[in-house]
Amino acid sequence: MERILYLTHTEADGGLSKVALETLTSAVELSRQLSGSTLRLALWGGAIQTAADAVAGCGAEETLGVTGEEFADSRYASDAAAAEALVRAADATFVIAPASARLARTLPGVALRVGGRIDSHVVGMGAAGEGVQIQRWYYRQRMLATMTRSQRPWFVLVDPGLFETWNGEAGSATPRLVEVDLPTPYDRTRVVGIEAAKSQAQTIRPDADLLFVAGAGWTKKQADGQTHVKDAEELILGFLDSAQASLGGSKSMVEQSAEGEDVLSFMSHLNQVGQTGSTPRHAKGLATCCHGEEPHVVGWRFIHERRAINTDPNCGWAQSKADVLYVADAFALTAKVNELLRG
């Protein structure tokens, strides 16, 4: 019989992040599928009551908590101590946590401390007889493995964008507070502020509904024989701002700065989508001035609806890779869309 523990930290406002709420859905679904299992919640942070109340209707037997100023910030020593205390107090056999940066950094060490095992980037979970099986991708999202483990406790970090955000009834929870044995000193690391990775524009938004990919065509000579990089920057930033979309780039685009060509100032290797880039998860994707070659398109595996704009009707997107291909000038089309969005 699995004793399932849903484990997460709270955010600065005392609530839960989107990925934490998605992961709660996966934990609730698993506990319903797994006969004889129990589900507990464990929260830690500077404040936990708002979060505990918000998810009080999820059907968990009990909510455990660790709270206090020393647990507000992301810090390995205090996070690991809190998570370890909660896992031990719940006597958990299966620990489900969202893949936030904070948990991804902390939980592997916690699993080691309690003699467990951990799997990261988990994309699916289900009952297998009386046990659990999980799914994760290997070899850059090419092979999907279904796995089980006998070692307990078994920790899983669930990737974002896979489950519906939990939106059940709120209520009034009374968390059982758990004592934490903090190491001395526990606060050699202090958070003094948060600085965004980008100085000019925050362009990577994992929670956005839409991925906007800019290919190298934006910086190439256009019909008038000139490049229009400044216009491209304005159009792309205007679109991202209005649509709150996330920005991806092709390899050719992100590598241009290294090759000394005119570049989009806000584009970096972090934006690269594809075989040697990222594989983001968004409901929709729009590729602009991007040829749609296979090493790029493999990064679109988890984009549900794909559209592309290209002046070339024979570009890669036309070869069954996009649901819709607009054969058009992306400069003119993006300008028109921006005008409509502003309106």
Ligand X SMILES: Cc1cc2nc3c(=O)[nH]c(=O)nc-3n(C[C@H](O)[C@H](O)[C@H](O)COP(=O)(O)OP(=O)(O)OC[C@H]3O[C@@H](n4cnc5c(N)ncnc54)[C@H](O)[C@@H]3O)c2cc1C
Nearer to ligand X, 127 or 328 (CB): 328
Taking CB under 6 A as the binding criterion, the range among 51-59, 133-141, 149-157, 249-257 that sits at the site for ligand X is: 249-257
Which one of 50, 141, 227, 311 is in contact with ligand X (CB under 6 A)? 311
What CA–CA distance (Å, rounded) separates 304 from 163?
A: 14
Integer Cα distance of 19 and 158 in angstroms: 8
When the beta carbons of 37 and 250 are compared against ligand X, the nearer one is 250
| Cα–Cα distance measured from residue 314 to residue 148, given in angstroms and rounded to the nearest whole number | 45
Q: Is residue 287 helix, strand or coil?
A: strand
In angstroms, give the least distance from the CB of 342 to ligand X. Answer: 21
Q: Coil, helix or strand for 190?
A: coil
CB of 62 to ligand X, least distance (A): 46
Q: Kindly report the CA angle at 160 between 158 and 164, in degrees rounded to 5?
A: 95
Least distance CB 277 / ligand X (angstroms): 4
| CA distances for 249 relative to 276, 306, 322, angstroms | 12, 15, 16
Phi, psi dihedral angles at 104 (to 5 degrees): -60, -30
Spatial distance between the Cα atoms of 213 and 334, rounded to a whole number of angstroms: 12
Output 104 or 318, the one with its CB closest to ligand X. Answer: 318
Q: Is 216 in the site for ligand X (CB under 6 A)?
A: yes
Binding residue for ligand X, selected from 215, 219, 245, 280, defined by CB under 6 A: 215
In the list 217, 247, 271, 302, the residue contacting ligand X (rule: CB under 6 A) is 217
Does residue 261 interact with ligand X by CB under 6 A?
no
Which CB atom, from 97 or from 247, has the smaller least distance to ligand X?
Answer: 247
Residue span 264-303 as binding mask against ligand X, x where in contact by CB under 6 A, dash where not: --------xxxxxx-----------xxx-x-xx--x----
Name the 3-class secondary structure at 39: strand
Query: In this chain, which stretch among 30-38, 155-163, 239-247, 326-334 interacts with ligand X, using CB under 6 A?
Result: 326-334
Collapsing DSSP states into helix, strand and coil, what is residue 320? Answer: coil
Residue 94 half-sphere exposure toward CB, CA atoms < 13 A: 25
Residue 124, classed as helix, strand or coil, is strand
State in angstroms the smallest separation of the CB of 239 from ligand X. Answer: 14
d(Cα 129, Cα 294) in Å, to the nearest integer? 39
Q: Does 321 bind ligand X (CB under 6 A)?
A: no
By the criterion CB under 6 A, which residues form the site for ligand X? Answer: 215-217, 220, 222, 250-253, 272-277, 289-291, 293, 295-296, 299, 309-312, 315, 329-331
